[in-house]
Structure 1
Amino acid sequence: MINFHSRKKKAKKEENTEKDPILFSYDLQENSAYLKTIFSYPDNSDLGVRPIHVPSQDKDALVFFMRGMVDTALIDHAISSLQEKEIQMEAGKELTEVISQTILTGYQVTTMRERKGVVSALLDGQTVILLEGSPNVISLHSAKYEYRSVEKPQSENVIKGSNEAFAESGTVNVSLIRKRLRDESLVTETLYIGQDKKTKIRLMYLKNVMDPDLLQQIKDRVSQIDVDYIEDVSVLEQHMEERAYSLVPTILYTERPDRATSFIREGNAILLMENSPAAIVTPATFWSFFHTSEDYYLRWAYGNFIRSIRLLSVFIALFTPSLYVAIVNFHSAMIPTDLLLAIAATRETVPFPVIFEIIMMELAFEILREAGIRIPTPMGSTIGIVGALILGQAAVDANIISPILVIVVSITGLSSFVIPNVSFSFAVRIMRFAFLILAAFMGLFGVMMATIMCVAYLSTLTSFGVPYLAPTVPFFPSSKDTIGRKVTWKERIKPMYLHPKKATENSKTKGKRGL
Structure 2
Amino acid sequence: MRRKILKSLNKTFNSEPQFSEQSNANDIELKKQDISRHYAQNIETFKSIFSIPKNIDVKVREFTIRSLNLRAFIIYIGTMVDTDQVQRSIVKPLIENEQPSRKIQDIVSFPVGKTIINIGEITENITRGITALFVDGDHQCYVFETTKIEGRGIEKSDNEVIVKGAKEAFNEKLADNIALIRKKIKNENLIVEAHVITKRSRNDVLIVYEKDLVNDELLQKIKNRLASIDTDSILDLSILEQYLEERPRSLFPTLLNTERPDRAASFLEEGHIVLLMSNSPNCIVLPATFWALFHSPEDHYLRTPYGNFIRFLRFLALFISLFASSFYIAITNYHVGMIPPDLLMAMAGTRERVPFPSIIEILMMEIAFELIREAGLRVPSPIGPTIGIVGALILGQAAVQANIISPIVIIVIALSGLSSFIISDTSMNFAIRISRFLIIFAAGFLGIYGVAALSIVGLFYLVSLKSFGTPYFAPMTPHFFSGKDLLIRHVPMKASFRPGYLKTKDMVKQRKD
Q: TM-score, normalised by structure 2?
A: 0.92
* C-alpha spacing 1:133/1:19, structure 2 compared with 1 (3 Å): closer
Within-5 A mapping of 1:134-283 = 134-195=138-199, 198-283=202-287
Partner of 1:76: 87
The Cα offsets for residues 241-283 of structure 1, whole Å up to 9 and x where unpaired, read as: 1101101000001000000000000010111111111111010
CA contact (8 A) 2:172 2:280 kept: yes
User: How far apart, in 2, do the equivalents of 1:101 and 1:487 lie?
Assistant: 56
Q: Any idea what SS the aligned residue of 2:382 has?
A: helix
Paired residues of 2:497 and 2:510 also in contact (CA < 8 A):
no
Provide the C-alpha distance between the structure 2 equivalents of 1:278 and 1:418, rounded to a whole number of angstroms. 20
Aligned to 1:368: 372
1:92-491 to structure 2, matched below 5 A, reads: 99-104=103-108, 106-195=110-199, 198-491=202-495
3-state SS of 2:72 partner: strand
Asked if the contact 2:31–2:120 (Cα under 8 Å) also holds between the matched residues in 1, the reply is: no
Q: CA deviation at 1:506?
A: 4.5
Q: Deviations over 1:50-99 (max 9, x none)?
A: 1111122221111101011101111112111112224656xxxxxxxx53
1:199·1:228 contact (CA, 8 Å) conserved in 2?
no
Alpha-carbon distance in 1 for matches of 2:261, 2:442: 41
- Structure 1 length-normalised TM: 0.91
- Distance in 2 (alpha carbons) for counterparts of 1:465 and 1:38: 44
Amino acid of the structure 2 residue aligned with 1:75: V
1:52 maps to 63
Structure 1 residue 19, shift from structure 2 partner: 12
Q: What percentage of aligned pairs have identical amino acids?
A: 45
Q: Where does residue 24 of structure 1 map in the other structure?
A: 35
On the 8 A contact 1:170/1:272 being kept in 2, the answer is: yes
**1:329-350 deviation digits (Å, cap 9, x = unpaired):** 0011111111111111111100
- In 2, the alpha carbon distance for the partners of 1:170 and 1:99 equals 32
Contact 1:264 1:270 in 2 (8 A): yes
1:446-470 deviation line (CA, Å, top 9, x unaligned): 1011100110001111000001100
Supply the AA of the counterpart residue of 2:93: S
After the TM superposition, which segments of 4 or more aligned residues of structure 1 sit over 6 Å from their partners? none
Shift of 1:206: 0.6
Deviation at 1:195, TM superposition (A): 3.7
Counterparts of 1:505 and 1:289 in 2: how far apart (Å)?
22
| Structure 1 residues not aligned, in runs of 5+ | 1-17, 90-97, 508-515
Q: Using the alignment, how far apart are the partners of 2:458 and 2:293 within structure 1?
A: 16
How much does 1:492 deviate? 2.0
Whether the aligned pair in 1 keeps the contact of 2:122 and 2:132 (CA below 8 Å) is: yes
1:100: Cα distance to partner? 4.3
Q: CA RMSD in A?
A: 1.5
Deviation at 1:234, TM superposition (A): 1.0
- Measured in 1, the distance between the counterparts of 2:375 and 2:30 equals 54
Render the CA deviation track for 1:165-219: whole Å, top value 9, x for unaligned.
0011000000000000111110000111124571001110010001000011111
